[in-house]
Amino acid sequence: MSEPKTQVFRADLHCHSTFSDGSYTPHELVDLALTLGLSGLSITDHDTTAAYPEVFDYAQTKGLLMLSGIELSASYREEPVHILGYGFDIASEALGKLCSHHQTRRERRNLTILHKLSRLGIAIDPELLQGQMGTCGRPHIAHLLMEKGYVGSIQEAFDRYLGEGKAAFDPGELISVEETIETIKKAKGKAILAHPHLIKKSSTVKAMLKMPFDGLEGYYARMLKSQEQKWLRLAQEKGWLITGGSDFHGATKPQSRLGSSWVNQEIFERLST
């Protein structure tokens, strides 16, 4: 006799759409989430909420619960720190302003990167970046480098030119962790420290644990079990929420599958209110 199938609530809270550096449109992400048996999803594009509010309606008609989300780029003493925002008001003026600020910061930074590439003998027309809707950054430049045959893979583009400290790298204007958390809170959202195990400096980790985050991302695709335990313990000690997601990008980063990390209904609901 076969066991009755109980539908377990799983919500993936970290993925990227074509409005940043993912290869699936928001609608395709909703469809894929349902195919994989997920009950909830949050699309967390880099520095933009452009997928919303339209995708809310689509998800609703399809029967998938959707939580507003974003992954904001911030810095602490020049080290990049990614901050997830959830359950915020998508009409928030403060968050809208921060996203516009990122847009301008990125336009300038992309031009600087293209200029550095041109000095290395690699000519890329800035107009080629114009077609991107939403956020445009290093992954898009990496793509052009590949298309034009300068590199054989996205990874090679980062390793040779675009990665931190490489010849065409530019950090652009830095936006602080403090300002980012404050903005998410002004928008009535929860501020979560994204993939904390990827922070390189222990001094940055120490400082982040003193910041007014609401939680950290303790479940993340391909995080080692030993790391996961450390972060779950730290979150519990601080009384922080523990979130999870795959950081799915589709073809842009094929290693992580949608739904490979997730949260239960209780966490999903606490982030929604």
> DSSP assignment, residue 24?
S
Binding mask 31-50 for ligand AMP (x = CB under 6 A): ---------------x----
Q: Which of 86, 158, 240, 248 binds ligand AMP (CB under 6 A)?
A: 158
Give the integer Cα–Cα distance in Å for 267 and 263: 6
- Among 31-39, 58-66, 132-140, 209-217, the segment contacting ligand AMP (CB under 6 A): 132-140
Binding mask 221-260 for Fe ion (x = CB under 5 A): --------------------------x-------------
Please give the residue whose beta carbon sits closest to Fe ion in the complex.
82
Give the integer Cα–Cα distance in Å for 155 and 180: 29
Decide if residue 106 touches Fe ion (CB under 5 A): no
Q: Which of 37, 46, 50, 31 is nearest to 11 (CA)?
A: 37
CB of 119 to Fe ion, least distance (A): 29
Binding mask 49-88 for ligand AMP (x = CB under 6 A): ------------------------x---------------
Q: Are 95 and 187 in contact (CB under 8 A)?
A: yes
Binding mask 193-232 for ligand AMP (x = CB under 6 A): ----------------------------------------
Decide if residue 217 touches Zn ion (CB under 5 A): no
Cβ closer to Fe ion: 47 or 247?
Answer: 247
Decide if residue 10 touches Fe ion (CB under 5 A): no
Q: Are strands 190-193 and 241-245 parallel, antiparallel or unpaired?
A: unpaired
User: What are the Cα distances from residue 200, in Å, to 36, 79, 93, 100, 203?
Assistant: 33, 8, 33, 28, 9
User: What are the Cα distances from residue 63, in Å, to 35, 38, 50?
Assistant: 12, 10, 21
Give the integer Cα–Cα distance in Å for 136 and 139: 8
Q: Which of 103, 163, 234, 265 binds ligand AMP (CB under 6 A)?
A: 163
Q: Are 113 and 169 in contact (CB under 8 A)?
A: yes
Give the integer Cα–Cα distance in Å for 173 and 125: 22
Decide if residue 154 touches ligand AMP (CB under 6 A): yes
Considering all CA atoms of the chain, what is the largest pairwise distance in Å, rounded to the nearest integer?
69
Q: Which of 13, 18, 21, 41 binds Zn ion (CB under 5 A)?
A: 21
Enumerate binding residues for ligand AMP (CB under 6 A).
Answer: 21, 46, 73, 137-139, 154-155, 158, 163
